[in-house]
Amino acid sequence: MKITAVRPHPVWLGRRNQLLVKVETDEGIHGWGESGLSGRERAVAGAVEHYREFLIGRDPFAIGALWQEMYRSQYFEGGRVLTAAISALDIALHDIKGKALGVPVHELLGGMQRHTVPGFASTREEPGEAMIEEARALQAGGWRCIRLSPSRPDEGGLFEPRRSIAATVPWLIRAREALGAEMVVGIDYHHRLSVAEAASFCQKLPTGTLDWLEEPIRDECPSAYAALRQMTDIPFAIGEEFASKWQFQPYVERDLAQFARLDICNIGGFTEAMKVAGWCEAHYVDLMPHNPLGPICTAASVHFSAAIANFSWLEVGPDDGRADARVFPVQVKLEGTGYGVPTTPGLGVEVDENALSSDTFRYWEAPHLRREDGSLTNW
């Protein structure tokens, strides 16, 4: 079997852009992958096209060797754009191999360790009575792990961290009182805080209010997280932006992350994700995969989550496994509060290319947030 075509599809689907990648073979078997670098899909598509130049004619079963060749055979190896491209291609190659062998992808990863992949849901309301009611409704619906919402930027893109903290803290305390001790509760600050701001936020919360704090500060400087670690006992959930095992290294080895928010569409696909999972297992770090994209990301995350021992919950994306059936006639769907593990060959997702059109792509840009003094701050 040989690779005959590699086709990137940057498209707008639902509420956001997605970069889907199709890899075709001379035996009529194809595979689908997805990139996770939201907002920079054209850049990743360009990288995929570069890789296409030497992937055509190669054996799609040689996944590990092709991963190494894509990563190492250039002077400027690595980086989020390139590993996002490698991720999509690696996922597609696993889809091909699973289909060719007649097995689901998780069988290629060592086999299924759980028959259901439990998920966590997120509230959409800002801190207030409406958020509490939404959280209660999720609890009544059977969810055992939820992520609450911090006070967000206003419609004009203004975000003042201290004001957000003041507006968020009392409602988190009330949420814990309303939900009880058994509910697992986290919050994502989307790296919008400084170390001092994040420490103040944590110190204003009674012990046990949160079970995890996600991405409170930027991740480029592990020593900043080490400093914050000394100021709070709340577990950290970190890693959705990491693009290699080397980025995870200091956070795992220095015990800075208690939950690894690995994104299979950014980290380098299944090949790199399994290495990170093993490393985390050695340090008793559980995987809580990032899953905000489309059905291909969801399916890949489900297979990965099913095949590892150290797993906690999978993020349930905004489409809740019910993405456009016109585009994705076959997809992995949410069943209650989790995902059943696919047993069909490959990923268990198919795409109707006739429903895709390049002219639906939009140059969407993430919000450029500013503070009251006019300075730029993190989105």
Predicted confidence (pLDDT) per residue in 247-300, tens digit:
999 999 999 999 999 999 999 999 999 999 999 999 999 999 999 889 999 999
pLDDT value of position 322: 56
User: Is 25 strand, coil or helix?
Assistant: strand
Residues 360-374 have a mean pLDDT of 90
Q: Please give the full DSSP string across 229-289, using - where no structure is assigned.
A: HTT--SPEEE-TT--SHHHHHHHHHTT--SEE---HHHHTHHHHHHHHHHHHHHTT-EE--
Q: What is the pLDDT of residues 172-209, one digit of tens each?
A: 999 999 999 999 999 999 999 999 999 999 999 999 99
CB atoms within 10 A of CB 200: 17
Of 31, 60, 18, which Cα lies nearest the Cα of 265?
Answer: 18
Boundaries of every domain in the chain: 3-102, 107-347
Of 17, 9, 20, whose CA–CA distance to 38 is shortest?
17
Among residues 358, 366, 368, 367, which one has the least CA distance to residue 12?
A: 358
**So what's the pLDDT on residue 303?**
98
* Cβ-Cβ contacts under 8 Å for 307 (sequence gap 6 or more): 106, 109, 110, 111, 112, 113, 274
Under the banding of pLDDT at 50, 70 and 90, the label for residue 326 is confident
Output the pLDDT for position 361: 84
pLDDT of residue 124 exceeding 60, the answer is: yes
The residues assigned a catalytic role are: 190, 290
Question: Is the pLDDT higher at 365 or at 25?
Answer: 25
**What is residue 185's three-state secondary structure?**
strand
pLDDT of residue 324: 81
pLDDT of residue 360: 77
For residue 317, pLDDT beyond 80: no
- The reported pTM is 0.96
Check whether 34 has a pLDDT greater than 60: yes
pLDDT by residue (tens digit) across 84-113? Answer: 999 999 999 999 999 999 999 999 999 999
Distances (CA, A) of 369 to 90, 334, 379: 34, 33, 6
**Band (39; pLDDT cuts 50, 70, 90):** very high
Summarize pLDDT for 44-89 with one digit per residue, the tens.
999 999 999 999 999 999 999 999 999 999 888 889 999 999 999 9
Per-residue pLDDT at 358: 59
pLDDT at 3: 98
Which candidate, 172, 131, 167, places its Cα nearest to that of 151? 167
The answer on pLDDT for 318 being more than 60 is yes
Which element (helix H / strand E) includes 131? helix 129-140
CATH of domain 3-102: 3.30.390.10
**Amino acid sitting at position 317:** G
- Tell me the pairing of strands 236-238 and 259-260: parallel
CA distance 228 to 235: 11
Q: How many CA atoms lie within 13 A of 100 on its CB side?
A: 20
Longest dimension (CA), the chain: 61
pLDDT range class, residue 323, cuts 50, 70, 90: low
Q: Quick: pLDDT tens for 221-233.
A: 999 999 999 999 9
- The answer to whether residues 156 and 148 touch, using CB atoms and an 8 Å cutoff, is no
- Residue 27 — very low, low, confident or very high, per pLDDT cuts 50/70/90? very high
Share of the chain above pLDDT 90, in %: 89
Does domain 107-347 fall under CATH 3.20.20.120? My reply is yes
Q: What is the mean pLDDT of the chain?
A: 95
